[in-house]
């Protein structure tokens, strides 16, 4: 969701003002020009029946449809983040591909497992996107802001353990205009039962998010 420069028409307005002032003096010295009561009633009726002008213009949207997230990351990035994965990715079925699309990459190389999801979601307005962004952050704690990406960005990393197997997951949420970009990046080592370091997962998720946001913004410019 800007103010425009005001029109500079003062010079053009001065001449009519002088002419009207002179004409007004002449009319005031002549016959009474006050409209009859029935004329005033008709004028008031016309004003009342006239449709109201819209209070505000329709909000413009930078993004009208979600692009394919499977093409948002370079092959080099995918190979680095998810070794062994097919770089084409797999798009997850969506009830409305215009509004939300998600692409997934995952692979097991040796004993190392990595999973990466990238999602694009389009909302009705910047205000709606900001409200959704705020709500998602309310459900996640312990993270921090990601500077220099979109209009606002946030990342958080969590560690879970199930049957003695650790998994570390990083989530990055970015708002850019009326769109939301979400990245989930997780990893496990099935030999050591340990998870990758927090720094590795966090940096990987942020890298993917920056690239996905750049692809979204470049697509809007085109």
More confident residue, 52 or 171: 171
Give the tens place of pLDDT for each residue, 87-113.
999 999 988 989 999 999 999 999 999
Share of the chain above pLDDT 90, in %: 66
Distance between CA atoms of residues 179 and 64, nearest Å: 9
Judge whether residue 201 has pLDDT over 50.
yes
- Counting beta carbons within 10 angstroms of the beta carbon of residue 159, is it exposed (0 to 12), middle (13 to 18) or buried (19 or more)? exposed
Judge whether residue 192 has pLDDT over 90.
yes
Residues whose CB falls within 8 Å of the CB of residue 200, separated by 6 or more in sequence, listed in order = 187
Q: C-alpha angle 182/125/98, rounded to 5°?
A: 60
Report which secondary-structure segment, H or E, holds 77. Answer: helix 75-81
Give the tens place of pLDDT for each residue, 150-172.
999 999 999 999 999 999 999 99
**Average pLDDT score, the chain:** 81
Distance between CA atoms of residues 108 and 164, nearest Å: 19
């Amino acid at each position: 969701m800007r103010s425009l420069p005001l029109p500079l028409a003062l010079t053009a307005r001065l001449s009519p003002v002088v002419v009207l002032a002179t004409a007004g003096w002449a009319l005031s010295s002549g016959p009474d020009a006050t409209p009859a009561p029935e004329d005033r009633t008709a004028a008031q009726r016309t004003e009342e029946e006239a449709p109201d002008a819209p209070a505000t213009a329709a909000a413009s949207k930078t993004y009208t449809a979600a692009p394919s997230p499977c093409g948002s990351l370079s092959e080099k990035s995918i190979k680095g983040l998810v070794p062994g994965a097919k770089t084409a990715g797999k798009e997850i079925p969506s009830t409305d591909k215009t509004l939300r699309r998600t692409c997934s990459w995952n692979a097991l190389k040796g004993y190392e497992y990595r999973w990466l999801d990238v999602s694009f979601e389009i909302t009705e307005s910047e205000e709606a996107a900001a409200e959704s962004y705020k709500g998602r952050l309310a459900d996640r704690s312990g993270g921090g802001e990601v500077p220099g990406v979109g209009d606002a960005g946030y990342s958080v990393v969590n560690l879970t353990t199930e049957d003695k197997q650790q998994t570390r997951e990083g989530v990055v949420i970015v708002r850019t205009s009326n769109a939301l970009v979400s990245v989930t990046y997780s990893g496990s080592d099935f030999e050591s039962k340990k998870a990758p370091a927090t720094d590795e997962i966090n940096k990987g998720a942020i890298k993917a998010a920056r690239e996905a946001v750049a692809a979204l913004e470049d697509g809007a410019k085109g």
